Structure 1
Amino acid sequence: MEPVIPDLRDVSRADAYAQLLDMQRLLLDDSTDAIAGMATLSALLHHAFGHLWTGFYRVVTPGALLRVGPYQGSLGCQEILFGRGVCGTAAAEQRTVVVPDVHAFPGHIACDARSKSEIVVPVFDATGALMAVLDIDSPVHDAFGDADVDGLERLVAWFARTT
């Protein structure tokens, strides 16, 4: 039986990510399947923090196109061009992008009008190539900070070790 995902909304972000890293190790230590990793990580993050949308956009055309992958939440956009919106910017620049107010981000793509803030983290495979981005949307302004950047980057490092 799989463990229950704890509600970590009232836990410090550093402690919350430490717990999620432990759960990720427990659930994925023997796996090298990127899709299973994306699905598992999406569920862990989405339910632990109660985000609006949590999931991955996979690189299907390097340097050009992202396509929706495993996620939790409302419907996601099917495809996003590199350089377009927060996901496309993070993919093109291969860096984490934190947006406190999505309505102030030039070219923001509104897949869900309830989204107020967003964080997008690049995901690299074992060769160092960009394979996806992790996208998290919140219905709250300024929901993401340095602890989220650190915690999420540590969680997605699993892909570089195992894929």
Structure 2
Amino acid sequence: MQPTDYKMLLEQAKAITAGEPDLIANLSNLSALVYETLNDVNWVGFYLTRAPNTLVLGPFQGKVACLRIPFGRGVCGTAATTRETQLVIDVHEFEGHIACDAASNSEVVVPLIVDGEVVGVFDLDSPLVGRFTQDDADGLTALGRFIEQLNWR
């Protein structure tokens, strides 16, 4: 499998969001862009902080997903609590993993922080154990830093 060109992906993300102020429209297109660009992923999307310490399903590509995830639960909730990207080689070895799709076996979750507050997470799942590498986590974290610059108001 050829490594993903995250520099090119970031440039594409900037191009498709340029001039569009609507957050949901931008997150929708970004989830589609990443879903279509990365190989061997079965879910790409966002959970947004919509209640105190609770992530609520946002724009995504893939199968039906969990609607709400408390901070501190599962990979997404852990990313929100720790404010650190979570790279999980095998989700079945992650204590407290929430199985929204039984076909998912590895995951990367990037917390999105704006003005010191966790506004959501950027979540990617794969049916392959070990699909994501540290290079993927770093590239997706860089994309997350760009996403934080979108219009969250």
- Kept after mapping to 1: 8 A contact 2:107/2:125: yes
Deviation string for 1:37-59 (max 9, x for gaps)?
21111101111114111100000
Distance in 1, matches of 2:141 and 2:31, equals 14
Distance in 1, matches of 2:149 and 2:38, equals 25
Which residue of structure 1 lines up, in the alignment, with residue 2 of structure 2? 11
Deviation string for 1:93-112 (max 9, x for gaps)?
11100110011111110000
- 1:53 equivalent in alignment to 2:30: no
Distance in 2, matches of 1:20 and 1:90, equals 22
- Kept after mapping to 2: 8 A contact 1:117/1:139: yes
- 1:21 Cα offset (Å): 1.1
- Kept after mapping to 2: 8 A contact 1:52/1:115: yes
TM-score (structure 2 length as normaliser): 0.91
- 1:122 equivalent in alignment to 2:122: no
- Kept after mapping to 2: 8 A contact 1:34/1:159: no
- Runs of 4+, deviation exceeding 4 Å: none
- 1:121 Cα offset (Å): 0.4
Which residue of structure 1 lines up, in the alignment, with residue 58 of structure 2? 69
- Kept after mapping to 1: 8 A contact 2:42/2:62: yes
| CA 153–32 in structure 1, closer or farther in 2 if over 3 Å, else same | farther
Which residue of structure 2 lines up, in the alignment, with residue 4 of structure 1? none
Which residue of structure 1 lines up, in the alignment, with residue 102 of structure 2? 113
- 1:162 Cα offset (Å): 2.9
Structure 1: which 5+ residue stretches go unaligned? 1-9
Please state whether the residue corresponding to 1:162 is helix, strand or coil. coil
- 1:135 equivalent in alignment to 2:123: yes
- 1:26 Cα offset (Å): 1.2
Which residue of structure 2 lines up, in the alignment, with residue 145 of structure 1? 133
* Corresponding letter in the other structure for 1:39: S
* Corresponding letter in the other structure for 2:20: S
- 1:79 Cα offset (Å): 0.4
Distance in 1, matches of 2:51 and 2:82, equals 15
Deviation string for 1:81-128 (max 9, x for gaps)?
110110011111111001100111111100000011001000122x23
Deviation string for 1:50-83 (max 9, x for gaps)?
4111100000124x10100000000110000110
Which residue of structure 2 lines up, in the alignment, with residue 81 of structure 1? 70
TM-score (structure 1 length as normaliser): 0.86
RMSD of aligned Cα (Å): 1.3
